[in-house]
Chain A
Amino acid sequence: MSDLLEIDNLTVQFRGDAGWITAVDDVSLNLREGETLGIVGESGSGKSVTALSILRLHTAATTRHPTGRITYAGKDMLALTPRQLRAVRGREIAMIFQDPMSSLNPVLTIADQISETLRLHQGLDAAASRQRAIELLELVRIPDARRRVDEYPHRLSGGMRQRVMIAIAIACRPRLLIADEPTTALDVTIQAQILDLLRELQSSLGMSVILISHDMGVIAEFAQRVVVMYAGRVVETAPVKDLFRKPVHPYTEGLLAAIPKLDVDVVRLPTIRGSIPDPAQHIQGCRYGPRCPVVLSQCLVEAPALLPAGPARFARCPPRVAAP
């Protein structure tokens, strides 16, 4: 399979109180057609910033134009004109966000909001787009779609709102769906329903999906391949089973160990010492060095490169990769 999306050496900087803050530093990743890629990391890891860069959704006033390359289906995304970009957004690449309440317009009905994309990209008229909106609500399993389509977002539960967001996202049958923490605001039983729905839609519509999450459980259940980010950098990428069976990077290892266990009694959870670094803080060498339990003196001097670490795997930890 060929790559649908390729990100090469992406760096994104925001204006901070004292100069530019690097939120994403030299990130490279690729996504194959039909693949589900998980991007996992804690706050400040740069996972959302990376995803937002694909559609260039950062506020222009506070963001430096990203460096590096983002190639989607042969298009150089960082070079598109605003007009060309609008043709891609919502039609070829769609996005859903964590908080369905603030992503929906509270003063428009569900029908209006789904129709917006359909009328813009597919040129449907009012009646046809309304009919299509009802079909889409049925597709995302909203009961009583014919009545619900005329309601306002506040009348719906969190889970139903996220279903509406998904309906809007798939309205134009995108080739790529970017889901940024789509279930984080939802209760666990509703989260399971939404993940089921996304999985079904992915296979019936043949979409590629990028799923961004802080939750290793969600990633394990949903992704085929995983990119682990820490403090603005990719620290490890691997097929999902390999990653969970045998993490290579000490950060991945520490993160997996620190997750509270549901299926066994643990007397004390292993922890990662220290705190997540402030993005404005400069760290010499490996960004994880100051917290790493197996840190070597060389790690604190030289910034490590992302190196091959087995079949389809990469890790940014020369000591681990060189001496497996």
Chain B
Amino acid sequence: MSTNAAAPIAGVRDLVKIFSIKSDKGGAPLQLHAVNQVGFDIAAGETLGLVGESGSGKSTIGRLLVGLIPPTRGHVELFGESITGKDGIKHLSNVRRRLQFVFQDPYGSLNPRMRVDDCIAEPLDIAGGISRKERADRIIELLEIVGLPRSCGDRYPHEFSGGQRQRIGIARALALRPEFIVCDEPVSALDVSMQAQIVNLLLDLQEKFGLSYLFIAHDLAVVRSIARRVAVMYAGSIVEQGLRGDIYRAPKHPYTQALLDAVPRPDPERQRKPTLGGEIPSILNPLPGCAFAMRCPLAIDRCRSERPMPREVGTSHLVACHLA
């Protein structure tokens, strides 16, 4: 495992993913620009939070990053090896065990016919090479790590609440001792009182095992409670990324500002600024220029004709806006 902070554990450059979908009117397939020239790095032991509204491309990035789907263009590096270049497939299979994925839906991601102990041990069974005794011990250890009683092992997923099921999903992800986990909306299906428990569990595990996370979520407050750095997505692009404090305290991109302002706070006396109008643009035929231009209160002509590229505006603070 690399402990060199300079060498990122995961990184993407100029990443593009275009899905071809059949047009409902017939004719040429439509080109869905899900991810449009995205770049970021994740250092060892770090959490990068990826936030955005639906259709912004955040889940697609998660899947691209662990090689579940190939990119249309661009580079993905994991543990210092490219999984998109020459010999990419070979490199991916080399690093696969060091990666895991935790899904949003703890109901849909566990096999209802498998006992909890078998769910948790399935990655071990696939990897092979362990004795029955080692397997049984590891299951007990994993249940303990995620805060479930040992007796859970011989029960079935439907007997558990959403929060407990997410613990089972996390135990399963930890089975092969990964170094990097992509968590795709891991707490958004959970009630508030359960969310906090799972967020704290992920923080504990990170500290204990030195894990790195890509934490994908639409909830800005949840991301603030777990991520060290945050990237904000809009219509397939990262519009702003930086340290948590900079993004939440002094956001530079007008979209980040509007997004933060739109979140209702548990404070009846707060005065909200006027609401951002319009809707998320279609990613079928992206217009030239900035994707946010048509909703942006500050947009000038240049924003509609020329796409802003990320620029450094402070220490590791990047903003893709002509006006920032």
Min CB gap A223→B, angstroms = 8
Which of chain A's residues has its CB closest to B54's CB? A187
Interface residue A71 (Cβ < 8 Å from any Cβ of B):
no
Q: Chain A interface secondary structure, helix, strand, loop or mixed?
A: helix
Residue from B191, B218, B221, B264 within 8 A of A260 (CB atoms): B221
Count of chain A to chain B residue pairs whose CB atoms are closer than 8 Å in the complex: 127
Does residue B134 face the partner (Cβ distance < 8 Å to A)? no
A271: chain B residues within 8 A (beta carbon):
193, 196-197, 200
Within the complex, what minimum Cβ distance (angstroms) separates A288 from chain B?
Answer: 11
Q: How many residues of B contact A (CB 8 A)?
A: 44
Which one of A159, A187, A193, A258 lies within 8 Å of B195 (CB-CB)?
Answer: A258
Within 8 A of B (CB), among A267-292: 268-272, 275-276, 278
Contact A275 B163 (CB under 8 A): yes
Beta-carbon contact of A270 and B268 below 8 Å:
no
In the complex, whether B203 has a CB less than 8 A from a CB of chain A is: yes
- Report the nearest A residue to B295, measured CB to CB: A189
Instruction: Determine how close the nearest CB of chain B comes to the CB of A195; give it in whole angstroms.
Output: 7
Interface segment out of the listed B62-70, B208-216, B272-280: B272-280
Taking a contact as CB atoms under 8 Å apart, the answer to whether A262 and B193 are in contact is no
Provide the residues of chain A in CB contact with B280, threshold 8 Å: 187
In whole angstroms, how far apart are the Cα atoms of A193 and B277 in the complex?
A: 7
Residue of A192, A258, A268 near B192 (CB, 8 A) is A258
* Contact A187–B53 (Cβ < 8 Å): yes
For residue B140, CB closer than 8 A to chain A, the reply is no
Given known A265-B224, A265-B244, contact A244–B268 (CB-CB < 8 A) = yes
Q: How far is the CB of A80 from chain B (nearest CB, A)?
A: 34
Q: What is the bound-complex CA distance between A254 and B193, given in angstroms?
A: 8
Residues A243-272 near B (CB distance < 8 A) = 244, 254-256, 258-263, 265-266, 268-272
A-contacting 9-mer, from B106-114, B121-129, B170-178, B254-262 = B254-262
Q: Which residue of B lies closest to A195 (CB)?
A: B264
A187→B218 contact, CB < 8 A? yes
CB within 8 Å for A217 and B200 given contacts A193-B275, A275-B194: no
A158, A255, A263, A265, most chain B CB atoms within 10 A: A263
B53 to A: closest C-beta gap in Å: 4
Asked if B248 CB lies within 8 Å of chain A CBs, one says yes
- Across the interface, do B193 and A42 meet the contact criterion of CB distance under 8 Å? yes
In this complex, which of B191, B203, B224 has the most chain A Cβ atoms within 10 angstroms of its Cβ? B191
Nearest residue in A to B258 (C-beta to C-beta)?
A: A189
Residues of B within 8 A of A258 (CB): 192-193, 195-196
Interface residue? A188 (CB, 8 A): yes
Residues B224-252 near A (CB distance < 8 A): 224-225, 244-245, 248
Chain B residue at minimum C-beta to C-beta distance from A185: B54
In the bound complex, residues from chain A placing their C-beta under 8 Å from that of B200 are 268-269, 271
Q: How far is the CA of A214 from the CA of B219 in the complex (A)?
A: 14
Contacts of B245 in A (CB 8 A): 265
**A260-B196, A265-B224, A269-B200 known; A221+B264 contact, CB < 8 A:** yes
A216-B218 in contact given A189-B262, A265-B224 (Cβ < 8 Å): no
B266 contact from A157, A159, A188, A259, Cβ within 8 A: A259
Instruction: Name the contact of A216 in the complex, choosing from B192, B199, B220, B224 (C-beta under 8 A).
Output: B192
**B265 contacts chain A at the CB level, 8 A cutoff:** yes
A196 to B264, CA, bound (A): 12
Q: In the complex, what residue of chain B is closest to A230 when comparing beta carbons?
A: B193
A261–B225 touching, CB < 8 Å? yes
A279 to B277, CA, bound (A): 41
**Complex Cα–Cα for A43 and B189 (A):** 11
Task: Contacts A188-B53, A220-B265, A240-B268 given; indicate if A272 touches B193 (C-beta within 8 A).
Answer: yes
Which residue of chain B is the closest to A141 with respect to CB atoms? B277
Given A188-B218, A189-B259, A262-B260; A255-B265 close (CB under 8 Å): no
Q: In whole Å, how far is A277's beta carbon from the nearest beta carbon of chain B? A: 9
Which A residues touch B221, using CB under 8 A? 259-262
Output the least CB separation between B47 and chain A (Å): 13
Tell me, in angstroms, the Cα distance from A275 to B161 when the chains sit together: 8
Q: Nearest Cβ distance between residue B42 and chain A, in whole angstroms?
A: 20
Contact with B along A184-218 (1 / 0, CB 8 A): 00011111110110000000000000000011111
Q: Which of B220, B225, B258, B262 sits near A191, CB closer than 8 Å?
A: B262
Does chain A have a CB within 8 A of B301? no
Expressed in whole angstroms, the minimum distance between the Cβ of B57 and any Cβ of chain A is: 14
In the complex, are the beta carbons of B54 and A192 less than 8 A apart? no
Task: List chain A residues, Cβ under 8 A from B263.
Answer: 188, 217, 262
Nearest-CB distance from B40 to chain A (Å)?
Answer: 21
Give A240 to B263 CA distance when docked, in angstroms. Answer: 18
- Interchain Cβ contacts under 8 Å between A and B, 9 examples: A188-B218, A190-B53, A192-B272, A193-B275, A193-B276, A216-B266, A220-B266, A241-B268, A261-B225
Residues of A within 8 A of B (CB): 42-43, 157-160, 187-193, 195-196, 214-222, 240-241, 244, 254-256, 258-263, 265-266, 268-272, 275-276, 278
- The 10 lowest CB-CB distance pairs between A and B, nearest first, are A217-B264, A260-B221, A187-B53, A42-B191, A269-B196, A272-B193, A192-B262, A258-B196, A216-B266, A262-B221
